[in-house]
Structure 1
Amino acid sequence: MDHLDELKEFARLHARGQGITERQVAAVLPRITNDEPGHPASWARVWTAEADRLATAGRPLDACRRYALARFPHHGDEVRARAQANCVRTFDDWRRRRGIGRLLLDHPDGVVVCWTAGLDVRRRRPLVVVSGGIVSVKEQWAPLLPKLARLGYAAVATEMPGVGENTLRYGPDSWRLLPFLLNRLERRADVRRTSVLGLSFSGHMALRAAADDPRIRGVHTVGAPVAGFFTDPLWWPRVPGITVETLRRLTGSADEEALRLLLRRFPLGPDTLGAVRVPVGYVVSSRDEIIPAGDPRLLAAALPRARFKEFDDVHGSPAHLTAVRAWLVRSLLRTRFAAAAEPGPVRPVAVRAVESAVAVPANGSPDGPLPPV
């Protein structure tokens, strides 16, 4: 599959996750004939034009979702950089009357930005940190935040290093971003009861952080790499080119050889996994084209109490978004009840209440489904 075909295939998956219908995607993709920066029929220019149209029509969230596709998979050229800025701008327009705040944090290595809900210095609630993978920006997740706040959480949506507005560089120690966030949020949330909804490569960061930081009480992930992705020479040639190129950019690697040398420092070994003593929920995709099947098996062997749910799907299980969402909600609830020392199984009434709160109409409403990773 060549680069443009990969872009279009990933777009179909990520569009679905943002509530953009297949029909709407099908109306745009034929107009894209290349990925040459600045070309009128290029990926970024065509999606930007579609987003501009919706922004002018007074539909900022719909525009935001198209800008997110225009900057996909990363904002590595001028047109994509403008799309990234417009993605943030249009979401900012939409969120102001919906109880979503903006938090900019100065980090020793750059800037970290979060969308927030439920933070309160007077009533500190259990914290949920939401982060996508290497290609998804926080604006794809942030519409979920007010719903989490209504369920009694403090919630923040942020990004991996190098993604979106995060200016840090992605590397083997990037997991330290999570303790940094908890330190900065401790006056406005009960960070001692933190759950991380970290998808794909954010899930890898969350697992590593949970081995070191006891404030993280649960990790809930979809398709997180563990070890084999980073080291298996037989698997690597099968990894999509978009994934490889995005990782190269986020890590600042000069070429693919330098990237692979760096990735050898990422695997979670037995000692690290042995230190993860919190509930872990992991969604497995049986046809995952990015994460080798050995990675969830390794996690299952190292963490006998971890819970797994498998779907017959590709990375992120985009064709099963409703079921993935419901399963992650149950995983999150189990952690909350365990942290509150409430014995027994997850209460069905509570599960139904949460699922109802995060339900998404089939027409792709403003509070769209959890996106693929």
Structure 2
Amino acid sequence: MSALLTGEPGLAELRALAPLHARAQGIGPDRCRALLSRIGAAHGEAPDSWPVVWNRAGDALAARGHHLDAVRHYALARFPYPDGPARERAQRLCVRSFDLWRATYPGIGRLEIELPGGGGRFAAWTAGLSASRPRPLIVVTGGIVSVKEQWAPLLARAAALGTALAVTELPGVGENTLRYGADSGALYTALLDRLAERADVRRTHALALSFSGHLALRAALADPRIVGISTVAAPVRHFFRDRDWQRGVPATTVHTLAHLTGRAAPEVLPSLADWALEPGELAALRALPVTYVAALRDDIVPLSDAAALVRDPGARRELLVLDDEHGAPAHLARVRATLLHAALTTLAVHPLRRTALSTARLRPGRGGRVRA
């Protein structure tokens, strides 16, 4: 049955998605399976419900002082988005545990930004900022279910980068209270304005995963300080316009987008048609270096979106296609290395630093690299 006609994401779908997100968080498969075996309901406050089981695991880790591991479990407890007291609690404790963990890393700071006119507020974790020696900036954003706290390892190793770092969230995700819309790229401009005295924001690369990749592309149309983008599985055009494709989009994606945009689930995907990047807008971005990782078995973002981005032979594009699912979870090390390498290359950071922060060196794998 079409995701557009179903109710909230069921337990079977959450179970199927959990290993992907657990792996991205650094939670091992055995640990993930053990916790999933205790879960009997996707929602609610019962002892065997999804958020309560993951919360309980996070609480036990936090009580032992394992704050970063607690962050990872709380992030799964609030997945895919807070829909009641247990998931809301998980969101609060995720931030609190991260704050306790970062106390051991004095270079990691916190930034809170409020948009004028009551437009909302958002927060960012930062590293590598300096008023006396402003460095080029990498802004990191996740997708529609990804909280900024999952980027702890990147922030902790920022000294190896030679850049400034700021990690934040899509509108409506985590602590971000902005409403998610086609014009939400303004959050990038607000963030760069705020960091202008402590980073060389004129040289900003957006490492933007999934839906935030789309947001970064839109932001780059209006803000020339964004000089490069690296992304994986970003919707560009066809996701927003292809009604046949939309009928197969998973319920979790549909309901999360409905939650973030404030629209009803049955109408949310058709209502996003004007979010598509038009041919003229893509042409305006042809000089912007963009690295895009696509997955052959992606059931959320069609491969035609990657094709739309690289179709122009004069555009500065690099495409990596992998035999995987949305976000290429089976190739996380390779994807992270590819995206970081693209960022550091765009910012002209010393070549020796280009693999300093990757979890693994680039290596051959299933898939191919195509320069456009």
Pairing partner for 2:21 from 14, 17, 26: 14
Cα RMSD for the two superposed structures: 1.7
Equivalent position of 2:162 in the other structure? 152
Match of 1:326 in 2: 337
Q: Distance in 1 between matches of 2:110 and 2:168?
A: 10
Q: Which position in structure 2 is the counterpart of 1:60?
A: 67
Q: Name the residue aligned to 1:190.
A: 200
Does residue 311 of the first structure (1) align with residue 322 of the second (2)? yes
Matched, 1:47 2:57: no
2:301 equivalent to 1:284: no
Unaligned segments of structure 1, at least 5 residues: 341-345, 361-373
> Which residue of the partner structure matches residue 363 of structure 1?
none
Q: CA distance change for structure 1 residues 33 and 266 in 2, over 3 Å: closer, same or farther?
A: same
Greater shift in the superposed pair: 325-334 or 61-70: 325-334
Asked if the contact 2:161/2:356 (under 8 Å) is kept, the reply is no
Alignment of 1:288-299 (within 5 A): 288-299=298-309
Residues 1:107 and 2:131 are matched in the alignment: no
Q: Read off the aligned partner of 1:355 and give its amino acid letter.
A: T
The DSSP-based 3-state class of the residue aligned with 2:274 is coil
For structure 2, the 5+ residue unaligned runs are 2-8, 361-372
Distance 1:153 1:306 in 2: 23
The aligned counterpart of 1:355 is 355
Question: Whole-Å Cα distance in 1 between the matches of residues 357 and 188 of structure 2?
Answer: 26
- Give the AA of the match of 2:261: T
Say whether residues 1:274 and 2:283 are aligned partners. yes
**Where does residue 37 of structure 2 map in the other structure?**
30
Moved more, 100-109 or 325-334: 325-334
Q: Does structure 1 retain, via aligned residues, the 8 Å contact 2:254–2:265?
A: no
Asked whether the 8 Å contact 2:61–2:69 carries over to 1, the reply is yes
Q: How does 1:117-132 map to 2 (within 5 A)?
A: 117-132=127-142
Quote the offset at 1:328 in angstroms: 1.4
Output the CA distance in 2 between the equivalents of 1:78 and 1:85: 11
User: Quick one: distance in 2 between partners of 1:48 and 1:100?
Assistant: 25
Count of residues in correspondence between the two structures:
349
2:137 partner amino acid: L
Give the structure 1 partner of residue 190 of structure 2: 180
Measure how far apart 1:274 and its partner are: 1.1
The runs of at least 4 consecutive aligned structure 1 residues that moved more than 2 Å come to 146-150, 302-305, 353-360
| Distance across 1 between alignment mates of 2:122 and 2:33 | 35
Q: Is the 8 A contact 2:128 2:165 kept in 1?
A: yes
**C-alpha offsets along residues 239-285 of structure 1, whole Å, 9 cap, x if unaligned?**
1100000000000003422x134301210111111111211000011
CA contact (8 A) 1:149 1:155 kept: no
What one-letter code is carried by the residue in structure 1 that aligns with 2:111? L
Deviates more, 1:191-200 or 1:293-302: 293-302
- The change in CA–CA distance for 1:21 and 1:322 in structure 2 (over 3 A counts) is same
Larger RCO of the pair (alpha carbons < 8 Å, separation 6+): 1
Whether the aligned pair in 2 keeps the contact of 1:118 and 1:146 (CA below 8 Å) is no
* 2:81 paired residue number: 74
- C-alpha offsets along residues 120-143 of structure 1, whole Å, 9 cap, x if unaligned? 111111011000000000000133
Give the equivalent residue in structure 2 for 1:343: none
SS at match of 1:308: strand
What secondary structure does 1:206 align onto?
A: helix
**Counterparts of 1:357 and 1:230 in 2: how far apart (Å)?**
34
Output the CA distance in 2 between the equivalents of 1:237 and 1:224. 18
TM-score normalized with structure 1 length: 0.90
**2:254 is aligned with 1:233:** no
